[in-house]
Amino acid sequence: MASEKMMGVGGGGASRASYQRFPKVRIREMKDDYLKFELRDTDASMANALRRVMIAEVPTVAIDLVEIEVNSSVLNDEFIAHRLGLIPLTSDDAMSMRFSRDCDACDGDGQCEFCSVEFFLSVRCDSDQTLDVTSADLQSTNPRVCPVDVAASLSADPSGYETPEQKGIIIVKLRRGQELRLRAIARKGIGKDHAKWSPAATVTFMYEPQIHINEELMETLSLEEKRSWVESSPTKVFGIDPNTQQVVVVDPEAYTYDDEVIKKSEAMGKPGLVEIYAKEDSFIFTVESTGAIKTSQLVLNAIDVLKQKLDAVRLQDEESDMKELTSHLGNL
């Protein structure tokens, strides 16, 4: 789904410093698991802070404790527990949940609606055919928290063909007589503590490139020289218009700041053939989600977390100023 909505990230009010900015976001492409947007009117520090918060500080829910009752499979208990922890779970309610370390309504046994969700798995192979134990075999006590592939298969249109997503994520394979029975507890956490809690598969940003071709200098090149110059770029940034035979910018965002076309221009004795520079206040973000939360919600949650962190810093500064003022007045 494409969109071109504009929304402000920064707040209004009186400016405490002359360098205060009001960043804007323009969404280019948005899907449940993919988002591409522009972040404008800010600097690299804000862009990188937003990226790092999306990766490491937006909370999700993941299996954190596994109690294995029976395991006669070829994998040991620790290996299975690790694989269970890495299964992404739907985490739409993660922001409103409590961290288990801060929950005063339970003793950490997993039977708490505020900070945890219980899962059960009981599978036994009684046939000669290998049995795949997958995330679809996990039974959740909370229907809003389940493996993302299970949620996707439930929302998909029913059909006779079973896709890999509908089969689930394989945990272990069982042969005749082998059994796996366990109880697992999923808790809220952040990627900074463990990668299993990171909601982002990929978050990248790049400076938006600005490309200017010197048309007069370009006209001094032959068609073969133009083709050679265009092909010097490792990515398809430039092309040749079949009608006018002029070099045109096909995809400026494909430029990787490799300077190959600039080096080619100098080698051809045509320095200044093209000017490429980065807009230092404009960034293009690409976000891919693990499926735990939608990419749009991931960005909104990251902004909320970033605001909370900035509010905490501002509060500390104000408390520090008050202590300094009180200490100064006490010495008078």
Is residue 3 very low, low, confident or very high in pLDDT (cuts 50, 70, 90)? Answer: very low
Q: Residue 133's closest CA among 143, 119, 123?
A: 123
Task: State how far Cα 43 lies from the chain centre.
Answer: 20
152-156, 172-176, 279-283: range with lowest mean pLDDT? 152-156
Residues 6+ apart with CB under 8 A from 95: 59, 301, 304
* pLDDT band, residue 330 (cuts 50/70/90): low
CB atoms within 10 A of CB 233: 19
Mean pLDDT of the chain: 87
Instruction: Render 160-179 in DSSP notation, one character per residue.
Output: SS--HHHH--EEEEE-TT-E
**pLDDT confidence of residue 328:** 58
pLDDT reported for residue 183: 96
Cα–Cα–Cα angle for 98, 102, 104, rounded to 5 degrees: 95
State how far the alpha carbon of 188 is from the alpha carbons of 52, 103, 317, in Å: 18, 11, 30
Instruction: Tell me the mean pLDDT in the region 155-169.
Output: 59
Task: Give the pLDDT score at 163.
Answer: 55
- Backbone φ and ψ of 35, nearest 5°: -145, 135
Report the alpha-carbon angle 164-169-175, nearest 5. 100
The residue written with tokens 């020289």 in the block is 225
Which has the higher per-residue pLDDT, 3 or 56?
56
pLDDT band at residue 103 using 50, 70 and 90 as cut-offs: confident
Average pLDDT over residues 46-68: 96
Q: Write the CA distances from 133 to 104, 137, 147, 272, 313, integer angstroms.
A: 35, 7, 14, 62, 47
Summarised one tens digit per residue, pLDDT across range 278-301 is 999 999 999 999 999 999 999 999
Residue-wise pLDDT tens digits, 239-285: 999 999 999 999 999 999 999 999 999 999 999 999 999 999 999 99
Question: Please, is 28 exposed, middle or buried when counting C-beta atoms within 10 Å of its C-beta (0-12, 13-18, 19+)?
Answer: middle
Specify the pTM: 0.80
Could you say which DSSP state residue 157 is in?
A: P
Q: Tell me: pLDDT of 162 over 80.
A: no
The letter for the amino acid at 257 is Y
Quote the CA–CA distance of 188 and 74 in Å, as a whole number: 30
Return the pLDDT at 109: 67
- What proportion of the chain, given as a percentage, has pLDDT over 70? 86
Q: Check residue 7 and give its pLDDT.
A: 45
Residue 17's pLDDT is 44
Banded pLDDT at 12 (limits 50, 70, 90):
very low
- Give the C-alpha separation, 92 to 32, whole Å: 12
Residues 6+ apart with CB under 8 A from 115: 97, 98, 99, 100, 102, 103, 105, 106, 187, 188
- Helix, strand, coil share (%) of the chain residues, nearest 5: 30, 30, 40
Question: For residues 200 and 298, is the Cβ–Cβ distance under 8 A?
Answer: yes
Question: What number is the average pLDDT over the span 304-308?
Answer: 94
In this prediction, residue 196 carries a pLDDT of 96
**pLDDT (0 to 100) of residue 22:** 87
Angle, helix 223-231 to helix 260-267, in steps of 10 degrees: 150
Distances (CA, A) of 208 to 177, 215, 279: 59, 22, 6
Tell me the pLDDT band of 15, cut-offs 50, 70 and 90. very low
CA distance linking residue 318 with residue 87, whole number of Å: 43
Share of the chain above pLDDT 90, in %: 73
